[in-house]
Amino acid sequence: MTQDATIPADDRTYELGRKTVAAVLLAVDTHDRAQLQSLMEPMHPADIADLLEQINAYERARLVQLYGQKFDGEILSELDDTLREEIVSVLTPAVLADAVRDLETDDVVDLVEDLDKAQADKVLNALDRSDRVAVEQSLTYPEYSAGRLMQREVVMAPEHWCVGDAIDFLRTSEKLPEQFYHVVMVDPRLRPVGNVTLGKLMSSRREVPLKDLKEDVFHIFPAVIDEGEVAYAFNQYHLISAPVVDANERLVGVITIDDAMAVLDDEHEEDILRLAGVGEDSSLSDSVLGTTRQRFPWLAVNLLTSVVASLVIAQFEEALAQIVALAILMPIVASMGGNAGTQSLTVAVRALATKDLTAANLWRVIRREAVVGLLNGVLFAIVMGVIGLFWFGSPALGYVIGLAMVINLVVAGLAGTIIPVTLEKMRIDPALASGAFVTTVTDVVGFLAFLGLAVWVLL
């Protein structure tokens, strides 16, 4: 049985090989432009972007300069935001003009909005006048809005056309988008009234009216709507493309599924980075100082929460001095609570982002997390009770740590759900701030429950 060539053989099938990187760097070191171009020509722009991100700044500059006129604008679109400005500064005006000229307007907008003014002007000046006007108009919309996400190249047709009219138009049009999925039907005031898929268009007779081929699912997005809402709608309603309208409901652009899914992917990545407290824009290409600046604030917050937990411990100094076992077992209770809280927190933040956690099911989810915490707490209480008995020879100590474990895991489940929901109600990003609060709650409750029960039972 032969293996299907379209199925990856292992997890590293699409990973850029070390031999490829070494061969490219050798060509750069020997100034062999022909060899460099022959190595990079078959590579996808995304793979070239990965290559540029894996090597250092000195090697990047030499590679880009040697690569010369072959630099593809799609590479700029695939690059990490932190590297785009660096690469643009290396490209000559002629190479940059060739690189961005064939990009769709949405890709140019995405490129320009992350550059400083001088670099942005450099890119805009490389565009044809009509493309520059389109990009500058898109940049007038709010950041992270549908107006920034859309591409201005739209295939539209009057609603009274037949299939033959649309096909003739497509065949004679001198400038069509490189990729498109629908023909957008518009009324005389240029307001979108429906989508017709290319499949239906090409499989229907010429005399069939376009309005008879309209898709049942049709969504229109205002240009000022948040791109996260757009991405959610694309994912929720399985959209392929959708028109964007201005304040007068006139068609100004279209959003396609690749751009919507890129937003969804970016939001997932931001949530993960924020939950870890490393900043939403962190990447492997960041400098040491930049990475330090991103991580320091959240480490400082963690320090403050640790001080709060330490103040709780300080209230039981005498008990800890009399029973050394408490100091040995105390971190276990806090650690288990912290992990349980993080589990509930991750599920809650993700559910909030996908709008699965709402007022309608909030209390059901809270009850579920409390019961899960209770069951896990009882199971681990039995385990720790046995450990406490055989390790320290004290049944009472086993009871104390077991009960403390139950209390802390129940509280962790509640805190991991209630805190992010509360923060969202306060219009604070739950992914950004929940972790510190949940950690503080589980640490304080864990220490207080364990040490408080120990003083009450053992002393």
Domains annotated on the chain, with CATH = 18-140 (1.25.60.10), 156-276 (3.10.580.10), 288-458 (1.10.357.20)
Pairing of strands 241-245, 251-256: antiparallel
Reported as a single tens digit per residue, the pLDDT across 254-268 is 999 988 988 888 777
- The dihedral through the CA atoms of 174, 178, 183, 189 has a sign that is negative
Reported as a single tens digit per residue, the pLDDT across 139-197 is 889 988 999 999 888 999 999 999 999 999 999 988 888 888 999 999 999 999 999 99
* Total length of the chain: 459
Q: Are 253 and 221 in contact (CB under 8 A)?
A: no
Residue ranges of the alpha helices (H) in 277-361? 288-314, 317-322, 324-353
Reported as a single tens digit per residue, the pLDDT across 292-312 is 776 677 667 777 877 887 888
The answer to whether residue 441 scores a pLDDT higher than 80 is: yes
Residue 242 tokens, joined: 């959708």
Q: Are 436 and 300 in contact (CB under 8 A)?
A: no
The helix or strand, by DSSP H or E, that contains position 390, with its residue range, turns out to be: helix 362-392
Confidence at 3, pLDDT banded by 50, 70, 90: very low
Q: Which residues are CB-contacts of 351 (< 8 A; sequence separation ≥ 6)? A: 357, 365
Mean pLDDT score across all residues of the chain: 84
Q: Which residues are CB-contacts of 326 (< 8 A; sequence separation ≥ 6)? A: 316, 319, 320, 450, 451, 454
d(CA 280, CA 259): 19
**Residue 143 φ then ψ, to 5°:** -60, 145
pTM score of the predicted model = 0.69
Confidence at 2, pLDDT banded by 50, 70, 90: very low
| Encoded amino acid at 206, one letter | R
d(CA 262, CA 9): 26
How much is the pLDDT for 176? 85
Confidence at 291, pLDDT banded by 50, 70, 90: low
Q: What is the mean predicted confidence (pLDDT) over 281-302?
A: 66
Reported as a single tens digit per residue, the pLDDT across 217-274 is 899 999 999 998 999 999 889 999 999 999 999 999 999 998 898 888 877 777 666 6
